[in-house]
Amino acid sequence: MAIEQHILLAVDALVLGYTPDSGLSALLIKRRYSPFEKMWALPGGFVKDDESLEDAVSRELEEETGVKIEYLEQLYSFGKPDRDPRRRVVSVSYYALVKPDIYQLHATTDAEDVGWFDINKLPELAFDHRHILEMGLDRVRNKMTYEPIGFNLLDEKFAFADLLKLYEAIIGDNKKLIIDRANFKKKLKSLGIIEELPESRKQPGSGRPARLYRFNREQYFEKKNRGVFEMLFPHRS
């Protein structure tokens, strides 16, 4: 039996940014055209016939925001028949964690404006992009319970309190995750992926300098390839 399809393929990029001062944010564009004209949305667009999904999401992200990211991880495919009022569109979404202050934003093509938004103060989003964003946050939160992530968001030398602040910002108000600070630090040190340095730095609001650490990328990738990461902190039941 012949099947006739009229389905378009699109990609969407969920880019999450973190700074110690601003916490966790999401990169959004203001749509220039209908549907959802003037509404905020995730960067993205349609896949060309001659490009891969990865090339498409990188192109759309750079065209609409000026942000170029070498690698985005695939999140999920969204394909409800009514997710786009124009016609049937299936979107493959990708996500990344970055430092916002290393990018200069520049809105072009379908984007009228672009900006970083506090993850706890988001505007109403077009299409099903709120659902995509929430699923992306859940993915990041679940991933960080069994694999150390986010070290690229810290300075080369950091206090352990900086790492805890990052993880607490990502967890947000998720009450199912527990960070046992002492065990978390002990596990990271036992894995050899953080190195204690013979240096200290005075922390804001603290009376004494804090010991500094450095991320050991070689040990991280060696452990990751061997699959030896264990639960870094548990879920509440």
Give strand ranges (E) for the chain: 8-19, 23-31, 40-41, 44-46, 73-78, 89-98, 111-118, 157-159, 194-202, 209-215
CATH of the domain at 53: 3.90.79.10
Enclosing domain of residue 89: 8-142
pLDDT score for 65: 98
pLDDT score for 236: 62
- CA–CA distance, 226 with 230 (Å, rounded to integer): 12
Same domain flag for 36 and 137: yes
34-63 pLDDT, tens digit per residue, is 999 999 999 999 999 999 999 999 999 999
Same domain flag for 74 and 166: no
12-36 pLDDT, tens digit per residue, is 999 999 999 999 999 999 999 999 9
Q: Which residues lie below 8 Å from residue 62, measured CB to CB, with a gap of 6+? A: 68
64-104 pLDDT, tens digit per residue, is 999 999 899 999 999 999 999 999 999 999 999 999 999 99
**Residue 68, SS3 per DSSP:** coil
CATH of the domain at 149: 1.10.10.10
Same domain flag for 162 and 130: no
- CA–CA distance, 17 with 15 (Å, rounded to integer): 7
pTM (2 d.p.): 0.91
Number of domains in the chain: 2
pLDDT score for 43: 98
Is it the case that residue 237 has pLDDT exceeding 60?
A: no
Which of the four pLDDT bands, split at 50, 70 and 90, describes residue 228? Answer: confident
123-162 pLDDT, tens digit per residue, is 999 999 999 999 999 999 988 888 888 898 999 999 999 9
In a domain, 231, yes or no: no
Same domain flag for 88 and 198: no
Question: Across all residues in the chain, what is the average pLDDT?
Answer: 91
pLDDT score for 32: 97
pLDDT score for 233: 65
In the chain the first and final C-alpha atoms are separated, in Å, by 49
Tell which of 142, 169, 188 closes a domain. Answer: 142
Tell which of 142, 172, 197 closes a domain. Answer: 142
186-203 pLDDT, tens digit per residue, is 888 888 899 999 999 887
pLDDT score for 61: 98
